[in-house]
Amino acid sequence: MTTAKKVKVRFAPSPTGDLHVGNIRTALFDWAYARHTGGTFLFRIEDTDTTRVTDEYIQAAIDTLKWLGLQWDEGPEVGGDNGPYLQSQRLGIYAEWAQKFLDQGDAYYCYCSPEELEAVREEQRKANVAPGYNGHCRELTADQITAFKAQGREGVVRMRMPDGTTTFTDEIRGDVTFDHKFVPDFVLVRADGSPLYTLAVAVDDILMGVTHVLRGEDLLSSTPRQIRVYQAMGVKIEDYPVFAHLPFVMGQDNAKLSKRNGEVSIAWYREQGYLPEAICNYLALLGWSPGDDRENISMKELTELFTVEKVHSSPARFDMKKLEAINGDKIRALSLEEFATWTMPFLIKAGVITGTDAEIELVKKALPLIQERIVKLDEAPQLLKFLFIEKFAVDGDAVSKISDAAAKDILKRSLADLEGVASWNHESIEAVLRASLIEELGLKPRIAFTALRIATTGSTISPPLFESMELLGKEACLARITQALSL
């Protein structure tokens, strides 16, 4: 990718809700490219649509980038020489440029009503021609403008698109050409004076010194409009940002990823117990490859390896199971202290613990038992709650498995054997129970130990049985087995 200048990339969401997979994949690629090249990662909020963008969503976007570790060099909360970084605070800048375009003759006021524009589109559809503005107000006389104003019409500002084509080099797709007959005169400023995306994004990218625009493929068609704004601004061709449009992310149904086929917000993944590095690791592989078959890469490796040349042009497919596998790998790679730090909030939120020192100490003893078994952090409360239940109970669907005569006999025999265990550790517990239930009674381990698992943990699913019993303690185990026999 062209890097003659010092690289400055930008992530510029319009947060009308929580950031989703597509947003963050773009932010990640921008961040990785800036770090790889020693450039600047700029974060800008496009919030001119005040009816949909709220302060809450803006703060959520900021918090999400922080949580993912995608720290920006310039933008909200960090500052910089090109602020402000919320477009709602830059309206005067856009108004000045729009007026300059009007004065230069590059733009004009359009007074067509929504009904008139829709009528034109309907005629175009009937004639089977590309829909778009027909230039009705391009050459209005002073008398016509006066007449429109007398009717109470408020004009929008439109940019003149010249005849011909726009060609630019996309760093992923090669040379791309747009015929201007498919890029009609477009609106820069609404009738209420608020700027549209095409004006604000182009002006900001130039004024903020953005050199490279990495963004989703869905914005490819807006590029000739932005280039037209650059021309009207008087920007030299060599000073245009370099464009790279990232491939679509598709769902398993081969349709563009959406809420319908599985896309949910990054906040949802966070609540489900996905680690930020796992999310970044997986999203990096959606449209990019380090050049080998590796799927587990660190953030440091990503910054070392990421180049736009390795970004694919073909769509990427989102695979939840692959994300889960990567998340499981990341969990298993955590140190005990790191694992505890990530897990404690889930245990507290679920009401399993309150966070006392004694609880935390017991949790740390139990965590090694589940670290190899879970793929998401939100699985920890279900696996560890048996250690902290004051009023023990057996899960409803498990009661039937310890209610028949055979299960009762296993529990009675186990109770008698365990009462004689002097040194209460998992080795002694396992040795006694295997000798009694497996060797003497000839039971299969699955039959013998399922009943014990339910009686001591309350569920058919738990950490390793004997280690769990050790952590519970002898008194609690005997009491729970006795209680299970009474069911």
Known catalytic residues are 259
Give the tokens for residue 248: 């679509």
- Residue with token string 């117990």: 273
**DSSP string of 433-467, one letter each residue:** HIIIIIIIS---HHHHHHHHHHHHHSSS--S-HHH
Distances (CA, A) of 273 to 55, 202, 354, 368: 26, 38, 19, 17
Please answer whether residues 222 and 168 qualify as being in contact, where contact means their C-beta atoms are separated by less than 8 angstroms: no
The four Cα atoms 176, 177, 181, 182 give a dihedral, to 10 degrees, of -10
Distances (CA, A) of 227 to 165, 222, 355: 11, 9, 56
Residue 259 counted as an annotated binding residue: yes
Contacts of residue 198, defined as CB under 8 A and 6 or more positions apart, other chains included, come to 159, 186, 188, 222, 225, 226, 229
Residue 110 counted as an annotated binding residue: yes
The four Cα atoms 470, 475, 477, 482 give a dihedral, to 10 degrees, of 170
**DSSP string of 85-98, one letter each residue:** -BGGG-HHHHHHHH
In sequence order, what E strands does 238-353 have? 242-246, 249-250, 316-317
Residue 112 counted as an annotated binding residue: yes
**Omega of the bond prior to 84 within 30 degrees of 0, cis?**
yes
φ, ψ of residue 243 to 5 degrees: the values are -105, 145
Give the tokens for residue 284: 């990096």
Taken in order 177, 178, 179, 180, the sign of the CA dihedral is negative
Residue 309 counted as an annotated binding residue: no
Taken in order 418, 424, 428, 430, the sign of the CA dihedral is positive
Crossing angle of the two packed helices 21-37 and 55-68, in degrees rounded to 10: 50
Determine the distance from the C-alpha atom of residue 53 to the mean position of all C-alpha atoms in its chain, rounded to a whole number: 18
Residue 66 counted as an annotated binding residue: no
For residue 170, the one-letter residue type is D
Q: Which residues are annotated as a binding site for Zn(2+)?
A: 110, 112, 137, 139
Q: Which residues are annotated as a binding site?
A: 110, 112, 137, 139, 259
Q: Which residues are annotated as a binding site for ATP?
A: 259
